[in-house]
Amino acid sequence: MFRRGKDEDGMTEPEVYFESLFPEDRELARIEESIRERGMPEISVEPAYGRLLTLLAAATGAKAALEIGALGGYSGVCLARGLRAGGTLTSLELKPEYAELARANLAAAGFADKVEMIVGNAADSLEKLEADGRKFDFFFIDADKENYPAYLEWAIRLAEPGAVIAADNTLLRGRTLNPDKQGPAVRAMREFNRRIAQDERLIGAHLPAFDGLALAMVK
Ligand code: SAH
Ligand code: DHB
Ligand code: MG
């Protein structure tokens, strides 16, 4: 089938069933192909969660979205599709060659004028965005997992009231649930997940399908 390799291992029957209902998305399939042919990691957000990002950005009328972790631009295209007219996507990416591919894929999808790609360590980029007085109304956290708690704090600091935060991979392929796993990324993700559930500045929710997705609204 045309779907990505990682779907073969461990999609549940409900995940397979619902995924099968959607038509092929040629634009996103081309992006996955561009990632594959460069030998980059095939870790774009799940199609189902990409659709959810588009839906949420559109439903909330997102005007200034911030993505942490661009890879090849798959989630960037999903976010950009949902932006309201005149809206912009700012995307932070560590690796220049990934940022370049993401930029090219976003341009090919018609979003060249809506996207600001910032290359470098996200922590530095976030500091600069704050110093510049930037605010955002939609966040997608999907970069280095050990910094998720820090990225959540940054998102809250840079948030307009009512901003939505989404974060990928809250289950870390099951490691989050495995008490034998105590590495820095796993511990950070458990802390992140607790904060989504308990932080009084947020209305939080967790979706357990696929590799887990956290959602929150900043009150
Ligand atoms: N959001 C993308 C997938 C991102 S994969 C999508 O769904 O299409 C994670 C990305 O985070 C990789 O591209 C990786 O290079 C980037 N990354 C890792 N550590 C980072 C850091 N400290 N700062 C910025 N980006 C980082
Ligand atoms: C993996 C998947 C991701 O979506 C990600 O952002 C990082 C890593 C993985 O499956 O290894
Ligand atoms: Mg991810």
| pLDDT score for 162 | 98
Q: Provide the residue-wise pLDDT of the chain in tens; the chain has 219 residues.
A: 333 334 455 899 999 999 999 999 999 999 999 999 999 999 999 999 999 999 999 999 999 999 999 999 999 999 999 999 999 999 999 999 999 999 999 999 999 999 999 999 999 999 999 999 999 999 999 999 999 999 999 999 999 999 999 999 999 999 999 999 999 999 999 999 999 999 999 999 999 999 999 999 999
91 pocket-lining for ligand 1 (C-beta < 6 Å): no
- CATH 3.30.230.10 for domain 43-218, yes or no, is no
| pLDDT score for 1 | 35
How many CB atoms lie under 10 A from the CB of residue 59?
Answer: 10
CB-based burial label for 169 (10 Å; 0-12, 13-18, 19+) = buried
| pLDDT score for 5 | 39
Terminal C-alpha separation, the chain: 43
DSSP state letters, 16-77? HHHHHTSPP-HHHHHHHHHHHHTT----PPPHHHHHHHHHHHHHTT-SEEEEE--TTSHHHH
185 pocket-lining for ligand 1 (C-beta < 6 Å): no
44 pocket-lining for ligand 1 (C-beta < 6 Å): yes
| pLDDT score for 10 | 80
**Closest ligand 2 atom to the C-alpha of 69?**
6
71 pocket-lining for ligand 1 (C-beta < 6 Å): yes
Mutate to test the pocket of ligand 1, among 144, 172, 213 (most ligand atoms within 8 A of CB): 144
| pLDDT score for 2 | 36
Secondary element (H or E) of residue 161: strand 159-168
